[in-house]
Amino acid sequence: MTGARASGGSSAGAFAWVLNLDADDELCAEGRGARFVAPVPAPVLRARIEACMGALGPLVGDGVVIGHGDDTRARGLPGRAFCPTPSAISSLVAAGAEPPLAPPLVVIVRANHRLFSAELGQRLDGGTWVRSIGELESAFAGDVLARGGEWVLKHPHGYVGRNRHRTRELDPKARSFARRAIAEAGGLQLEPWVARSADYAIHGFVAIDGSATFGAPTRQVCDGRGVWQGTSRETDLAASERDALEDEAERTAHALAAIGYFGPFGVDAFRYVEGENARFCARCEVNARYTMGWAIGMGTSRPDVSIPR
């Protein structure tokens, strides 16, 4: 694996943070040129952030979280956001913090769209990108019918198990979900639903010059809906699995730099059971932003706090 490896580095220090955990909703709206209206009520999002603050402690460090306490403490501090969307930048400016240097919004939207990962190559056998109802019908008449079992339709922008639909057939509910995904974001990811036995991730940071720093592979604890519960740097990855995961991190960093993205990112992966065999999907999702386990995976290496303001 090329690039810098996470080791010693700066601590999070005193930064003003916007923890917009619902950033994918805003990116979806921005991608289709619509006015963003948060689907999650502000009190609900605040409660979610409060519940996650213990886990986000390694990321935020001694920083000030905007919207949680006295925002005047953020005045004059360099700003950071879970994802630097327009609303996050506005919140930082309103609190008197210095907005961070960030990629153009069109780049952030593209990097967080599931098509970006799909174009890097499907890593789950049977996975495919669908751009129209006709393509979806063809898939169900071919691969889906041949393999049987449950399948999952994934909206291009989703998080914490939201914006996806499990089905065994192309019924009215599946069609309705697909039409919405195609109308809102130009397509959807179709995958067989597999029995995951363990979840993993690897994190990194792409600098403005395109160089990358990588963290250590991590084990993720997720519930049955795929909602993140915790991250640990202790993993049981086999050497071949670790190599595959690190290779995907490197390929992802290179692809992100190629479209003009810089900043934090994460690559999710999982082990699953197919028949009597354990298999490994080395990349199921790319998140071009901070993630809940990003700071844990990066350890003491914090290139994100040393980039220009």
Quick: pLDDT tens for 240-296.
999 999 999 999 999 999 999 999 999 999 999 988 889 999 999 999 999 999 999
Q: What three-state secondary structure class fits 268?
A: strand
pLDDT at 182 over 90: yes
The pLDDT confidence band at residue 53, using thresholds 50, 70 and 90, is: confident
pLDDT at 39 over 60: no
**pLDDT tens, 223-238?**
776 677 788 998 899 9
| Confidence (pLDDT) at 107 | 98
Q: Quick one: 239 and 292 in the same domain?
A: yes
Q: Quick one: 203 and 183 in the same domain?
A: no
Residue-averaged pLDDT of the chain: 89
Tokens describing residue 20: 């917009």
Q: How far is CA 48 from CA 20, 43, 52, 68, 93, in A?
A: 10, 9, 6, 12, 23
Q: Quick one: 33 and 85 in the same domain?
A: yes
Task: Please give the DSSP secondary-structure letter assigned to residue 290.
Answer: -
Q: Quick one: 114 and 234 in the same domain?
A: yes
Count up the domains in the chain and report the number. 3
Q: Quick one: 12 and 86 in the same domain?
A: yes
pLDDT at 155 over 90: yes
Q: Which of 160, 103, 153, 161 is nearest to 129 (CA)?
A: 153
Q: Quick one: 200 and 222 in the same domain?
A: yes
| Confidence (pLDDT) at 8 | 37
| Confidence (pLDDT) at 69 | 63
| Confidence (pLDDT) at 6 | 46
Tell me what percent of the residues of the chain surpass a pLDDT of 90.
Answer: 69
Q: How far is CA 25 from CA 29, 112, 125, 209, 264, in A?
A: 6, 11, 28, 29, 19
Q: Quick one: 261 and 114 in the same domain?
A: yes
Per the structure, the complete domain to which residue 282 belongs is given by 109-119+194-305
pTM of the model: 0.90
Tokens describing residue 167: 């089905």
pLDDT at 10 over 50: no
